[in-house]
C-alpha cells in the first residue's frame, strides 16, 4: 500500500485513525500494531510472518540479555540476534546477487551454472532489520531497558508510517514514546501532522514523479547511447532533484502520520544540496541512516580513536557497506565506496580546502561530486553507468526536448533545494511546519485540503508511482 494512493488516503488512513482515537490510551499500542500489520500484509502477505517471527525472536534475545550479568552470555545472545537478522537480510536481499556473480564466474570458466530459484525481496527488510538490531544493541549496551511485552516490540519494529522506507528510528529515540507519547494531543498537533503529510504528498506527485518520467526515459539502456551531452546533464540534475523530493516526501509523510498518532519521529533531511562538503552532505541527507551507521558500525569499528589510517579505513568501510545496504548490485557498492573515498579525502586535506574556498565554491563543488555519485546509484549496472559518464564527458552535440511542465518543476525543485544557502530559509520553513498560532493552524488546515484535492486530481490523470526507496 502506497501513501500516495487513494486506497491509503481515503480508506485505510481514516478507518485506522478513527479506530485508534476511539481506543482507550492504555490499549492504543494494540490498535496501532493491528493497523501496522494490516498495512504490511496488504502488500506482502507472506513476508508478514518473517517480520513477526524475527521480531519475536529479538524480543526473546533482548529479554535474555537484560536479565543476565555474565558478559560472555550476554554477547552470546547479542550474537544470536546479529546472526539471525543479518542472515535473513543476506538471504532475501543478497542471495540472488551472489548466485548471479557465481554463475558469471562459472560461465567464464566454461562450467555449468548453479540452478537457482530467485528469492523475492520482503518490502522494507533493510529498514526493519536495522530497527531490530538497534533494539537489541541498545538493550545490550544498557542504554535502554528491554520492553516487557511483545506487542510493544512488534509495534516499535512494525509501526507502519516508517516501516517501509524509514526514517530509521533507533530504539532509544522512541522507547519512551511507546508508553508515554502524546495521547490527548490537541487539534493543532494533528493539523500540523496532516499538513506535513500533504506537503510530502505534493512533493512526491508534482516534483518527484514529474521529473522521474524524464529520468526514466533518459536512463534507458537504448537511450543513453544517443543522449546529447546537454540532455545527459539536465537528466542527471533532474534525478538529483527526483530522489531528494521522492525520499524526503516519504519522510515528510511518515513524520506527519506519526504526529497523527502522537509520535515524534526524527527528521531525515535538512537541505542536503546546500552542503559545502561530502561530510556535511551526510549530516543533511538520510540523517537517520547516518546516525545508525555511526552508532552501530563506525564507533564499534573504532571510529577515529585508532589513528588516521584506521579512521580512513573505517569511514570507507562504513560507506562501502552503506552502498551494499542500498542494493544488491556492484553499482551500489561503487556508489558507497565513492562517498567513502571523498569522506577520507576531506579528512586528509580536501575539507580544509573547501572551508577556505567559501560556500560559493564549496557548495557547487559538493553538488557536482554528489551528482557524479548519483550516476552509479541510478544506473542499473556498472556498464550503464560507464555509458552515462561517456554521455556526460565526451561531447555530443544536440539540443534537448523537455516539456514546459518539466521545466517548471525542475526550476521549482532548484529554488527549494538551493534557496536556504542564501540564509534564513531553513528557519522560515521550520516555522511553517511547527507554528501553532490560530491563523497558522487555520491556514494549514485549509491548505492541506486544497493540496489534497490537487494531488488526487493529479493521481486521477497520471496515476501514482512507488517511492524509490521501496526497493531497498
Average pLDDT over residues 312-328: 93
Tell me the C-alpha distance between 300 and 81, whole Å. 17
Give the per-residue pLDDT at 185.
64
Residues 93 and 223 in one domain: no
Nine-digit cell string for 15: 478507518
Percent of the chain with pLDDT over 90: 74
Instruction: Please tell me whether residue 175 adopts helix, strand or coil conformation.
Output: coil
Residues 140 and 254 in one domain: no
Domain boundary among 162, 180, 198: 180
Name the residue with higher pLDDT: 140 or 432.
140
Lowest mean per-residue pLDDT among 71-85, 176-190, 265-279: 176-190
Look at residue 438 and tell me whether its pLDDT is greater than 80.
no
Distances, alpha carbon 470 to alpha carbons 339, 354, 464, in Å: 22, 35, 14
Nearest to 208 by CA among 445, 351, 28, 4: 4
Nearest to 270 by CA among 376, 434, 421: 421
Look at residue 427 and tell me whether its pLDDT is greater than 60.
no
Which pairs with CB-CB distance under 8 Å and at least 24 residues apart come from 307-313?
A: 308/347, 311/347, 312/344, 312/347, 312/348
Average pLDDT over residues 247-265: 94
Query: pLDDT category, 430, cuts 50, 70, 90?
Result: low
Q: Is 286 a catalytic residue?
A: no
pLDDT in tens, 227-243: 999 999 999 999 999 99
The answer to the question of residue 378 being in a domain is: yes
Q: Residue 325 CB: number of other CB atoms within 10 A? A: 21
Residues 192 and 151 in one domain: no
| Burial category of 142 from C-beta neighbours within 10 Å (exposed 0-12, middle 13-18, buried 19 and up) | exposed
Query: pLDDT category, 433, cuts 50, 70, 90?
Result: low
Taking each helix axis from N to C end, the angle separating 404-418 and 229-260, rounded to the nearest 10 degrees, works out to: 60
The answer to the question of residue 111 being in a domain is: yes
Q: Compute CA 275 distance to the chain's CA centroid, rounded to the nearest angstrom.
A: 19
Residues 196 and 151 in one domain: no
Give the per-residue pLDDT at 381.
93
Lowest mean per-residue pLDDT among 75-84, 212-221, 308-317, 427-436: 427-436
Question: Please, how many CA atoms are within 13 Å of residue 434, restricted to the half-sphere of its CB?
Answer: 8
Residues 359 and 242 in one domain: yes
Q: Helices (DSSP H) in 229-307: which residue ranges?
A: 229-260, 278-281, 287-293
Residues 308 and 346 in one domain: yes
The answer to the question of residue 422 being in a domain is: yes
Average pLDDT over residues 414-443: 73
Distances, alpha carbon 249 to alpha carbons 39, 299, 436, 448, in Å: 19, 30, 22, 15
Average pLDDT over residues 180-201: 83
- Segment holding 348, helix H or strand E: none
Average pLDDT over residues 277-293: 96
DSSP state at residue 113: P
Q: Identify the domain containing residue 110 by its residue range.
A: 6-180
- Segment holding 132, helix H or strand E: helix 125-140
The answer to the question of residue 176 being in a domain is: yes
Domain boundary among 154, 180, 206: 180
Residues 101 and 170 in one domain: yes
pLDDT in tens, 378-396: 998 999 999 999 999 988 8
The answer to the question of residue 430 being in a domain is: yes
Residues 179, 180, 286, 326: which is the catalytic one? 326
Nine-digit cell string for 152: 510493544
DSSP state at residue 436: -
Residues 203 and 292 in one domain: yes
Give the per-residue pLDDT at 425.
52
Residues 159 and 300 in one domain: no
Nearest to 273 by CA among 287, 290, 288, 285: 285
Residues 151 and 260 in one domain: no
Nearest to 248 by CA among 428, 423, 418, 469: 469
Residues 282 and 237 in one domain: yes
Give the per-residue pLDDT at 65.
97
Residue whose cell numbers read 580513536? 305
Look at residue 167 and tell me whether its pLDDT is greater than 80.
yes
Residue 191 main-chain phi, psi, to 5 deg: -65, -40
The answer to the question of residue 1 being in a domain is: no
The pTM assigned to this predicted structure is 0.93
Look at residue 429 and tell me whether its pLDDT is greater than 80.
no
Give the per-residue pLDDT at 91.
96
DSSP string covering 181-221, please?
A: S-SS--HHHHHHHHHHHHHHHHIIIIIIHHHHHHHHHHTSH
Nine-digit cell string for 115: 540452478
Q: What is the mean pLDDT of the chain?
A: 91
The answer to the question of residue 57 being in a domain is: yes
pLDDT in tens, 88-141: 999 999 999 999 999 999 999 888 899 989 999 999 999 999 999 999 999 999
State the total domains in the chain: 2
Domain boundary among 160, 180, 200: 180
Look at residue 460 and tell me whether its pLDDT is greater than 70.
no
The answer to the question of residue 154 being in a domain is: yes
Query: pLDDT category, 142, cuts 50, 70, 90?
Result: very high
Residues 156 and 229 in one domain: no
Residue whose cell numbers read 539471525? 84
Whether residue 293 contacts residue 323, with contact meaning beta carbons closer than 8 Å, is answered with no
Give the per-residue pLDDT at 423.
76
Tell me the C-alpha distance between 398 and 381, whole Å. 26
Amino acid at each position: 500500500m502506497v501513501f500516495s494512493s487513494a486506497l491509503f488516503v481515503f480508506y485505510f488512513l481514516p478507518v485506522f485513525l478513527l479506530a485508534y482515537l476511539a481506543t482507550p490510551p492504555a490499549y492504543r499500542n494494540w490498535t496501532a500494531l493491528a493497523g501496522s500489520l494490516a498495512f504490511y500484509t496488504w502488500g506482502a502477505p507472506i513476508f508478514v510472518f518473517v517480520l513477526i517471527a524475527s521480531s519475536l525472536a529479538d524480543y526473546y534475545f533482548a529479554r535474555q540479555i537484560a536479565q543476565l550479568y555474565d558478559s560472555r552470555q550476554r554477547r552470546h545472545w547479542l550474537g544470536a540476534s546479529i546472526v539471525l537478522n543479518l542472515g535473513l537480510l543476506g538471504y532475501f536481499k543478497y542471495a540472488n546477487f551472489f548466485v548471479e556473480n557465481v554463475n558469471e564466474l562459472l560461465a567464464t570458466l566454461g562450467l555449468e551454472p548453479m540452478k537457482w530459484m530467485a528469492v523475492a525481496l520482503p518490502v522494507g527488510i533493510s529498514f526493519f532489520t536495522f530497527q531490530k538490531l538497534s533494539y537489541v544493541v541498545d538493550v545490550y549496551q544498557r542504554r535502554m531497558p528491554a520492553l516487557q511485552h511483545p506487542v510493544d516490540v512488534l509495534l516499535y519494529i512494525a509501526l507502519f508510517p516508517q516501516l517501509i522506507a524509514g526514517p530509521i528510528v533507533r530504539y532509544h529515540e522512541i522507547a519512551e514514546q511507546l508508553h508515554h507519547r502524546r495521547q490527548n494531543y490537541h487539534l493543532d498537533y494533528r493539523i500540523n501532522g496532516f499538513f506535513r503529510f500533504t506537503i510530502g504528498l505534493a512533493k512526491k506527485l508534482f516534483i518527484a514523479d514529474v521529473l522521474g518520467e524524464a529520468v526514466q526515459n533518459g536512463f534507458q539502456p537504448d537511450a543513453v547511447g544517443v543522449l546529447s551531452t546537454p540532455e545527459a546533464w539536465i537528466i542527471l540534475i533532474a534525478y538529483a532533484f527526483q530522489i531528494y523530493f521522492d525520499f524526503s516526501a516519504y519522510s515528510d509523510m511518515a513524520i506527519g502520520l506519526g504526529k497523527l498518532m502522537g509520535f515524534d519521529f526524527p527528521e531525515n533531511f535538512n537541505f542536503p544540496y546546500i552542503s559545502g562538503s561530502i561530510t556535511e552532505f551526510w549530516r543533511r541527507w538520510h540523517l537517520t541512516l547516518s546516525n545508525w551507521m555511526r552508532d552501530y558500525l563506525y564507533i564499534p569499528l573504532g571510529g577515529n580513536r585508532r589513528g588516521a589510517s584506521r579512521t580512513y579505513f573505517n569511514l570507507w568501510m562504513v560507506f562501502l557497506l552503506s552502498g551494499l545496504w542500498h542494493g544488491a548490485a556492484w553499482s551500489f557498492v561503487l556508489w558507497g565506496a565513492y562517498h567513502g573515498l571523498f569522506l577520507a579525502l576531506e579528512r586528509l586535506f580536501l575539507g580544509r580546502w573547501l572551508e577556505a574556498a567559501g560556500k560559493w565554491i564549496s557548495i557547487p563543488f559538493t553538488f557536482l561530486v554528489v551528482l557524479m555519485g548519483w550516476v552509479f546509484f541510478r544506473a542499473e549496472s556498472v556498464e550503464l553507468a560507464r555509458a552515462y559518464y561517456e554521455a556526460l564527458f565526451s561531447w555530443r552535440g544536440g539540443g534537448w526536448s523537455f516539456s514546459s511542465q518539466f521545466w517548471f518543476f525542475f526550476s521549482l525543485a532548484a529554488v527549494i533545494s538551493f534557496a536556504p544557502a542564501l540564509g534564513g530559509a531553513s528557519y522560515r520553513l521550520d516555522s511553517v511546519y511547527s507554528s501553532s498560532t490560530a491563523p497558522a493552524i487555520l491556514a494549514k488546515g485549509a491548505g492541506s485540503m486544497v493540496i489534497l484535492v490537487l494531488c488526487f486530481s493529479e493521481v486521477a490523470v497520471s496515476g501514482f508511482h512507488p517511492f524509490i526507496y521501496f526497493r531497498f
